[in-house]
Amino acid sequence: MIKEKKSRIILIVEDEAIISKTYAEELRYEGFTVFTAENGKEGLKLALAKTPDLILLDILMPVMDGLTMMDKLRKKNAYGKKVPVVLLSNLSSSEEKIMKTITNTKNEPTSYFVKSDWDLDDVVKKIKELLSKGETKK
Amino acid sequence: MHTNKNGIIELKNKLAITAKGKEDVRRKLAIVAREKEDTRRKLEITAKQLAVTAKELAATAKEKEDVRRKLVVTAKALAVYTTGLEVKDIKRTAELVERVKELESLNKEMDTARAKERAILLSMGDGLFATDEKGNIIFINKKAEKLLGIQSEKVMGKAFSEIVQKEDEKGIPIPPEKRPINVALETGTVPVTPTVTAPYYYVRKNKTRFPVAITVTPIMLEKKIIGAIEVFRDITQEKATDRAKSEFISVASHQLKTPATAIKLLSERLLGGKMGKFTKKQQEYFEDIRSSNERMIELVNALLRVSRLELGAYVIRVQEKDPCAIVDDILTESKYMIAKKRLKLKLVSQKNHPMLSLDEHMFRMVINNLVTNAVNYTKEGGEIRVNCKVAKKGEVLGKKLLDKDYFVVTVADTGYGIPLAAQGKIFTKFFRADNARAKHTDGTGLGLYIVKSTLGYSGGQIWFTSRENKGSIFYVAIPMAGMKATTPKKESIG
Gap between the Cα atoms of A93 and B314, Å rounded: 11
Give tens-digit pLDDT for B225-255.
888 888 888 888 888 887 777 667 767 776 7
Least confident of A56-65, A116-125, B124-133: A116-125
Say if the Cβ atoms of B265 and A59 lie within 8 Å. Answer: no
Which amino acid is it at B446?
Answer: L
Give tens-digit pLDDT for B93-121.
888 888 888 888 888 888 888 888 888 88
Give tens-digit pLDDT for B267-312.
988 888 888 888 999 899 998 898 888 888 888 887 777 777 766 6
Q: CB–CB of B488/B315 below 8 Å?
A: yes
A20 interfaces chain B, CB cutoff of 8 Å:
no
Q: How far apart are the first and last CA of chain B?
A: 208
**Closest partner CB to A120 (pick from B250, B265, B297):** B265
Say if the Cβ atoms of B494 and A119 lie within 8 Å. Answer: no
**CA torsion angle for A57, A59, A61, A64 (degrees, to 10)?**
80
Say if the Cβ atoms of A91 and B254 lie within 8 Å. Answer: yes
Residue B48, burial from CB neighbour count under 10 angstroms (0-12, 13-18, 19+): exposed
Q: CB–CB of B236/B130 below 8 Å?
A: no
A117 interfaces chain B, CB cutoff of 8 Å:
yes
Average pLDDT over every residue of B192-213: 78
Residue B490 has pLDDT above 50, yes or no: no
Give tens-digit pLDDT for B329-349.
888 888 888 888 899 988 888
**Contact list, B361 vs chain A (CB under 8 Å):** 93-94
Q: At what angle do helices A66-76 and A96-104 cross, to 10 degrees?
A: 10
Query: Residue A121's closest chain B neighbor by CA?
Result: B268
- pLDDT, position B236: 87
Give tens-digit pLDDT for B435-479.
888 777 777 788 888 898 888 888 899 999 999 889 999 999 999
Q: CB–CB of B214/B232 below 8 Å?
A: yes
% residues pLDDT > 70 (chain A): 80
**Contact list, B297 vs chain A (CB under 8 Å):** 116-117
% residues pLDDT > 90 (chain B): 9
**CA torsion angle for A41, A42, A43, A49 (degrees, to 10)?**
120
- pLDDT, position B13: 74
Tell which wins on pLDDT, B314 or B325.
B325
Tell which wins on pLDDT, B13 or A82.
A82
Among A94, A102, A110, A114, pick the best mutation site for testing chain B contact (most B Cβ within 10 A). A94
Q: CB–CB of B406/B423 below 8 Å?
A: no
Q: CB–CB of B143/B126 below 8 Å?
A: yes
CA of A138 to nearest chain B CA: how many angstroms apart?
Answer: 31
Helix (H) or strand (E) holding A85: strand A85-89
- pLDDT, position A100: 67
Say which residues have a Cβ less than 8 Å from residue A19's Cβ, sequence separation at least 6.
A58, A115, B258, B261, B262, B265
Average pLDDT over every residue of A90-118: 67
Which amino acid is it at B55?
Answer: K
Q: CB–CB of B346/B371 below 8 Å?
A: no
- pLDDT, position B312: 65
Query: What is the rounded average pLDDT for all residues in chain B?
Result: 82
Tell which wins on pLDDT, A33 or B13.
A33
Gap between the Cα atoms of A8 and A5, Å rounded: 9
Least confident of A77-91, B4-18, B32-46: B4-18
CB atoms within 10 A of CB B148: 22
CA of B198 to nearest chain A CA: how many angstroms apart?
Answer: 13
B488 interfaces chain A, CB cutoff of 8 Å:
yes
Say if the Cβ atoms of A60 and B274 lie within 8 Å. Answer: no
Say if the Cβ atoms of B260 and A116 lie within 8 Å. Answer: yes
CA of A77 to nearest chain B CA: how many angstroms apart?
Answer: 23
Q: How distant is the alpha carbon of residue B407 from its chain centre?
A: 38
Least confident of A25-34, B238-247, B400-409: B238-247
Least confident of B175-189, B259-273, B316-330, B364-378: B175-189
Average pLDDT over every residue of B405-430: 89
Helix (H) or strand (E) holding B466: strand B461-467
Residue B21 has pLDDT above 80, yes or no: no
Report residue B193's pLDDT band, with 50, 70 and 90 as the boundaries.
Answer: low
Query: Residue A26's closest chain B neighbor by CA?
Result: B269
Among B256, B264, B265, pick the best mutation site for testing chain A contact (most A Cβ within 10 A). B265
Say if the Cβ atoms of B268 and A19 lie within 8 Å. Answer: no
Among candidates B417, B415, B392, which has minimal Cα distance to B477? Answer: B392
- pLDDT, position B491: 40
Say if the Cβ atoms of A95 and B297 lie within 8 Å. Answer: no
- pLDDT, position B453: 85
Query: Residue B304's closest chain A neighbor by CA?
Result: A92
Residue B221 pairs with which residues in a beta bridge?
Answer: B224
Residue B387 has pLDDT above 80, yes or no: yes
Among B261, B316, B319, pick the best mutation site for testing chain A contact (most A Cβ within 10 A). B261
% residues pLDDT > 70 (chain B): 93
Under 8 Å CB pairs connecting chains A and B tally to: 84
Average pLDDT over every residue of B371-381: 90
Report residue A97's pLDDT band, with 50, 70 and 90 as the boundaries.
Answer: low
Average pLDDT over every residue of B215-221: 86
Report residue B410's pLDDT band, with 50, 70 and 90 as the boundaries.
Answer: very high
- Radius of gyration for the alpha carbons in chain B, expressed in angstroms and rounded: 60
